[in-house]
Amino acid sequence: MIRKRLIVLFLTPAALLYGVFFLLPTLFTFYFSLFDWSGFGEEMTFIGLKNYERLFSDRVFWLSFRNTLTLLFVGGFFIMGLAFLYTILINSGIWGKKFFRLVFFLPNIISVVALSAMWAYIYNPRYGALNTLLKSLGLEELGSTLWTAPENIFWAMLAALVWVFTGFFLILLMAGVDKIPPDMYEAADLAGANLWQKFRYITVPMTWDVMTISFVIWIINAIKMFEFPFAFGLLQVPQQLYTLGIYLYVMGFGKREPIYQLGYATAIGVVMLVIAFVMIVLVRRLMRRDILEY
Amino acid sequence: MSAAADTLTTSPTSSLRIDGVDKHFGDYHALCDLHIDVADGEFLVLVGPSGCGKSTLMRCIAGLESIDSGRILIGGQDVTRTRPSERGVAMVFQSYALYPHMTVGENIGFGMKIAKAPKAEIRAAVQGAAELLKIDHLLDRKPKALSGGQRQRVAIGRAIVHEPEIFLFDEPLSNLDAALRVEMRVELARLHGTIGNTMVYVTHDQVEAMTMASRIVVMNAGRIEQIGAPLELFNNPVNRFVAGFIGQPTTNFVSASVSREAGRVLLALPGGKPFAAPVPDEDTIAETRTDIGVRPQFFELAEADTADVIVTVDVVEQLGDETLIYTRLDDGQSITVQASGQHPIRHGDKLGVNLLKDKIMVFDADGRNLCHRTA
Amino acid sequence: MGDPRGTHPHDTRSAPEAASGAAPAGEIASGARSTDLAQTPDTLTPDTLASPAASGNGASPEARGARRQASKDGPRATRSRLPGLAGRIVAYVLVWGWTAFTIASIVWVALSSLKSKREVLRSGLALPAEAKWENYSTAWNVGKLGEYFPNSIVLVVISVIVILAVSAPAAYVLSRARFRGRETLTNLFVIGMAIPIPMLFIPIFSILAALRLTDSLTGVSFVFVAISIPFTVYLLTGFFASLPSELESAAVLDGCSDYQVFRHVMLPMAMPGLATAAILNFIWLWNEYQISLVLLNSPENRTLPLGLYALQNAMQYTNNWPGLFAGVTIIIVPTILVYAVLSERMISGMTMGAVK
């Protein structure tokens, strides 16, 4: 009962900034995607859904799409798997839990550009750390691989990406696992459960909510993935590294010839949003379940 | 017209007056046409089960909630539209609501600071309240460094500094452990004696109500069941609800058979001797069966052959100074008997009990106490 | 080397079967080892783990560590228990492996920044022969990071301040006031977290162009604030909602107006949340480079990440790895400092909304 004009006053600045610089652009995206637009200051020609038709037969688009999905599923698989594995390992009573948690999260606070510089060096075929190590172990042939060659670069980038994001999701999962009352594990011990059973019947159900949120966050991040692969590709990002986000940028700002394709680029953006939306709804539906009270 | 008769005449200088107050939350009727008159210096306790509206009523008195109709008068002034801080009330909350980022001294003086009182005045008032409550050595501490009892004193200090007409207490003892609760109960009673303001106190614990109140307001589902002094409510409840709410252990409610012989109405418990119904107007009793209420304290142990009724013992609790006997009648209805002293009774024993006839309550179909004596 | 499978934590599912004698022939190796494991106490409570018996002698570092852990977190703090010494060694190896890699790469980058160009190419994994601090001055001056640093500082600090100034009141109202459409409005704010930023590159650019704010730090600041609002509001509404409403009532009774309740009572209590939001936003915006990439052109407006990006591209031709690493170190030092001091708060703030 105790609110009044304060509400409007308190909400307006945020709403204004958010509306103008975030929501409005979102709406514009849908609008722009219906046009053929060759650059700022140029004329926009309405072409309806033609951009989307073009996308359909665009080889590069499908490549980006495939890359994004690979990132989402393959990357997601490894990230979640490793995050879970390490959550269990770190939580198994070894000393230094907080320290490990800190270090795992560390890559997430370091600038992507810095990280890619680091990995560029690691992957350098001649004097990079990886090949040097492999060669010193006697694996000459493996140690001469051109990790950053077009056919390998996507997977090289993916490995680095997994390294970064595992830490992030480790934090989330650990927080969820921490909330599980130890009594449950002790009761399971008394009933004679082994490690796998405890994991399957206690840990997994009790962290279901955290898992759902993690999946959603990962989906969003995977679909909008831009910074990491872009930095990895340096000056001229090879097409093998294209994600939807990068392709959008390239179409909108990157290519100078024949002309900018702003309408086309925003169409890609719309596709991104739709995919994200569909996947999130799917995941939430699949993972839906009554809230556990404990 | 409310079912409860106000036992005090309306005084022109009544400290607090609830006049036809009504409140809805959407479709939910929280307070139904309440009338209460509180004399100056009274300790009024609002008691009732969860959801009965007592906290809502208190918040309305404080001005934290608005009312849909009726008036609230404090010290003779109509404060229905007045802001909470100008009504002359101060409130102590269940969880004390101390500002955790301020020291004790700042907490107590906060209201005065907002009112832009001069610093010297604030300091003096804070010091005075702190000394009264014996917390003056804690003025620089933060709430998290205090014990529960100390925190409550700070909350009271904050209220005192307002110099209100009325103190409102919203279940202040619920968060304390049992031992501390008893101690604080006595303290609050002492405080009332010292400063003498009118105090309105909300609790769901009828023991607190009985021990602290000058008058009790029993509420149920937004209505007032009865207002009266504690013993009045104990001895002369107006209906089944009040009879069941007040008193520990709870009143026994049993179904008794009704018979009419030779112009007299007789009641009988299953397997027991008939006795005269102690009601003023015998016509009000139902035809064949009626509910009666007997407090556990108002039984007497008797010999089997002379007893009013024989019961089978279920569970016995030996408390040293008294014995609680949980028994069953022939038809399965349970009766709790409280006998003073120690008795060697065991599960399965057959026990004879007498009822103290003048303490029996007879209820009609609506739950009204037919033995209720109006003043 | 022996069969590592048998000691893998997840393989203990074979322990009960082995114990009941049902181990298949092929599993003899792991089965035998599992039987050993099965002989450890059936109920592996923290006490049995921490006791000398479980690990052979009390002097082993694991036992000491377990006891220390057990006493630090309380006797019931350990979660899923690994069977015995072998499992714990595996755990340590795996975890330390990852951790060591992470720490090593960062330390090594910092160290490499002090080498000469040739050193980096020749002896990549060795320590620098002599510390070439001039790499830093090169990065700072020639690489212009010295110009970009103040850009980043000013941009990020101001943006974070604005974000908080704008989001805190909004979050307060969204979480504690009662008005129609509150639910919808909150959702509207929060849904921004799901929108892919690249999608907005072009419209944002055109809006800024219309406002004549392209290629300006001011324009970027507006965008920074806007894209940080969803998460910040989400975080802060959680914080504000958790504040007890009795405090509001007490403040009202003390005579506070709505604004005074916010300023004197609610806002101070939400300080932990504000601090968390400040730290997280600082780190993300400090490292942000996709929006900056799109919106900033002229070199004098560049932020550190962009500067580093330019440096990295330049490095392609000059092979000046040490210089690049010096730049990397410059850019990551502030964030690591902030992280080292405030990591607990960051992590707990992040997980607060996710884990109820």
**In this structure, what CATH number is given to the domain that contains residue C229?**
1.10.3720.10
- Whether residue B206 lies inside any domain: the answer is yes
Average pLDDT over residues B294-306: 89
For residue C21, what pLDDT is reported?
Answer: 34
- Whether residue C124 lies inside any domain: the answer is no
Does B159 lie in the same domain as B180? yes
Interface test with A, best of C10, C12, C113, C202 (most A CBs within 10 A): C202
Angstrom distance (rounded) from CA B107 to CA B141: 10
Does C178 lie in the same domain as C58? no
- Whether residue C113 lies inside any domain: the answer is no
Does B70 lie in the same domain as B198? yes
- B240 interface with C at CB cutoff 8 Å: no
- The 10s digit of each residue's pLDDT in B7-32 is 344 445 678 999 999 999 988 899 99
Which is higher by pLDDT, A223 or C24?
A223
For residue C56, what pLDDT is reported?
Answer: 36
Nearest CA in chain C to B84: C253
How many angstroms separate the CA of residue B84 from the nearest CA in chain C?
5
Which is higher by pLDDT, C3 or B164?
B164
Does B264 lie in the same domain as B224? no
Angstrom distance (rounded) from CA C15 to CA B180: 53
Closest alpha carbon to C160 in C68, C250, C55, C275? C275
- Whether residue B55 lies inside any domain: the answer is yes
Nearest CA in chain B to A1: B65
Does B129 lie in the same domain as B114? yes
- Which chains border A (3 or more CB–CB pairs < 8 Å)? B, C
Does B313 lie in the same domain as B263? yes
Does C143 lie in the same domain as C72? no
What is the count of structural domains for chain B?
2
State which of B188, B218, B245 marks the end of a domain.
B245
What is the count of structural domains for chain C?
2
CATH for A35-95+153-286, among 3.10.129.10, 3.40.50.2300, 3.40.1350.10, 1.10.3720.10? 1.10.3720.10
Nearest CA in chain A to C85: A94
Task: With CB atoms and an 8 Å threshold, state whether B111 touches C254.
Answer: yes
Which of left, alpha, beta for B176 (phi over 0: left; psi -120 to 50: alpha)?
A: beta
**pLDDT confidence of B169, banded at 50, 70, 90?**
very high
Does C341 lie in the same domain as C263? yes
Does B276 lie in the same domain as B212? no
Chain C residues with CB-CB distance to B115 below 8 A? 255
For residue B357, what pLDDT is reported?
Answer: 86
Does B300 lie in the same domain as B175? no
- Which chains border C (3 or more CB–CB pairs < 8 Å)? A, B
Q: What is the pLDDT along chain C (356 residues), one digit of tens a residue?
A: 333 333 333 333 333 333 333 333 333 333 333 333 333 333 333 333 333 333 333 344 443 444 444 444 444 444 445 556 777 788 888 888 888 888 888 888 888 777 777 666 666 666 666 777 777 777 777 777 778 888 889 999 999 999 999 999 999 999 888 888 888 888 888 888 888 888 888 888 888 888 888 888 888 999 999 999 999 998 898 888 888 888 999 999 998 888 899 999 999 888 888 888 888 899 889 988 888 888 888 877 888 888 888 887 777 777 777 888 888 888 888 888 888 887 777 777 666 655 54
pLDDT of B162 higher than 70: yes
- B74 interface with C at CB cutoff 8 Å: no
pLDDT of A190 higher than 80: yes
> In 3-state terms, what secondary structure has residue C124?
coil
- Whether residue C70 lies inside any domain: the answer is yes
Does B219 lie in the same domain as B76? yes
Interface test with C, best of B89, B91, B151, B202 (most C CBs within 10 A): B91
Does B204 lie in the same domain as B298? no
Does C162 lie in the same domain as C14? no
- Whether residue C27 lies inside any domain: the answer is yes
The pair of structure tokens assigned to B130 is: 């702190």
Which residue ranges make up each domain of chain A? 35-95+153-286
Does B169 lie in the same domain as B57? yes
Which of left, alpha, beta for B221 (phi over 0: left; psi -120 to 50: alpha)?
A: left
CB-nearest partner of A195 from C80, C313, C328: C80
> In 3-state terms, what secondary structure has residue B50?
coil
- The 10s digit of each residue's pLDDT in B94-131 is 888 899 889 999 999 999 999 898 999 999 999 999 99
Chain C residues with CB-CB distance to B101 below 8 A? 268-269, 271
Does C200 lie in the same domain as C74? no
- The 10s digit of each residue's pLDDT in A43-71 is 777 777 878 888 888 888 898 899 999 99
- Whether residue B225 lies inside any domain: the answer is yes
Angstrom distance (rounded) from CA B250 to CA B227: 19
Angstrom distance (rounded) from CA A153 to CA C123: 25
Q: Which residues contact A68 (CB under 8 A, 6 or more apart)?
A: A222, A223, A225, A243, A244, A245, A275
- Whether residue B170 lies inside any domain: the answer is yes
Complex ipTM over 0.90: no
- B68 interface with A at CB cutoff 8 Å: no
Closest alpha carbon to B219 in B239, B247, B249? B239
For residue C276, what pLDDT is reported?
Answer: 84
Average pLDDT over residues B237-244: 92
Which stretch of A260-269, B199-208, C6-15 has the lowest confidence by average pLDDT? Answer: C6-15
The pair of structure tokens assigned to A284 is: 């939430």
How many angstroms separate the CA of residue A4 from the nearest CA in chain B?
14
Give percent of chain B with pLDDT exceeding 70.
96
Does B36 lie in the same domain as B175? yes
Domain carrying residue B102: 16-245
pLDDT of B324 higher than 70: yes
For residue C177, what pLDDT is reported?
Answer: 83
- Whether residue C118 lies inside any domain: the answer is no
Does C195 lie in the same domain as C297? yes
How many angstroms separate the CA of residue C251 from the nearest CA in chain B?
8
Closest alpha carbon to A238 in A151, A161, A158? A151
Alpha helices in B42-141 (DSSP H): 54-62, 104-114, 119-132
- Whether residue B9 lies inside any domain: the answer is no
Which is higher by pLDDT, B337 or B272?
B337
For residue C4, what pLDDT is reported?
Answer: 30
- B25 interface with A at CB cutoff 8 Å: no
Chain B residues with CB-CB distance to A2 below 8 A? 64
In one letter, which amino acid is A90? I
What pTM, to 2 d.p., does this model score? 0.76
**In this structure, what CATH number is given to the domain that contains residue B239?**
3.40.50.300
Domain carrying residue C242: 136-354
Does C302 lie in the same domain as C219? yes
Residue numbers of A between 2 and 21 with CB closer than 8 Å to B: 2
Does C167 lie in the same domain as C286? yes
Angstrom distance (rounded) from CA A197 to CA A212: 21
